[in-house]
Amino acid sequence: MNKLRGFTLIELMVAIGLTGLVAVGAYQTFDQAVRASSGAQERADQVNRLDRSWRLIEQDLQHAIPRQNVSVSAFQTPADAFYGQRVNTGHFAEGESASEGEPLTLENPLGQPWFLRLNRLAWKNPLNAQRSDLQGVAYHMSEGKLWRLYWPVVNNDDIELDFSSLDFNQAGDTFAEDVRLEGPAMRQQILMEGIEGMAIRYLPNSASSLDNNSWQVQWPPASNTSPGEVAPASMPLAVEISIYLEGFGESKRLFLLQPEA
């Protein structure tokens, strides 16, 4: 007669232990796969934002035109045709990020919330609104976030010198998040976050080569840099922008501006 035999307590404990080890291993494998997928998606989103931002900057610079001061209440000094602040955080010569430091913030010595300012043509008008195809555009950096500012009426002191509608502390969950305002007030769009470094330089029309000595670090060039060479009403021939992005490294683009008429 065969006797039925069950599992002993030790056998049950061993079986439970082995099942637990298999479960832990399966969970770790699943968790690593999820983390890898999430990291790949975040990187893809970052690359997508960077690419879309470059394309928007390219459109602005390629359609840039010399700015004219036709404001009713005239500016205290003649407006530059194109304004570019001196920007170089030093990341690119060193090849290292400053992730341990404070988020990148660029201050304009003139007290304006931008490091780049221009007028551009070809502002799309899909709704056929009664407005010009000219657009005032500027770029601002705060806490590692790159912002694009724009306003529908160019060369107007009341709009250009009124920054009350701007808020650089808002979240940037959506690319080119638009602050919807009524009237001609200044608008803002967030392009990307996580910027740790930036450098910009400008190539004059008089340049005969692309070597480092031909470039200017601000626009218009300082009078002691190239005396008498570049008038305030002139435009650079090209603009080179380098961005050091968190977790990505350096990205550089060279933009050719339209030749002046």
Is residue 66 within 8 A of residue 78, CB to CB? The reply is no
Mean pLDDT to the nearest integer, 62-74 = 70
In a domain, 33, yes or no: no
In tens, the pLDDT along 95-151 reads 444 445 577 888 888 788 899 999 888 777 667 666 677 888 999 998 899 999 988
Q: Is the pLDDT assigned to residue 222 strictly greater than 70?
A: yes
Tell me how many domains the chain contains: 1
Find the domain containing 72 and state its range: 43-256
In whole angstroms, what is the distance from residue 120 CA to residue 61 CA?
Answer: 8
In a domain, 64, yes or no: yes
Collapsed DSSP state (helix, strand, coil) of residue 190: strand
In a domain, 123, yes or no: yes
In a domain, 2, yes or no: no
Largest CA distance in the chain: 115
Strand partners, 255: 239
In whole angstroms, what is the distance from residue 56 CA to residue 244 CA?
Answer: 18
Higher pLDDT among residues 246 and 60, named by residue: 60
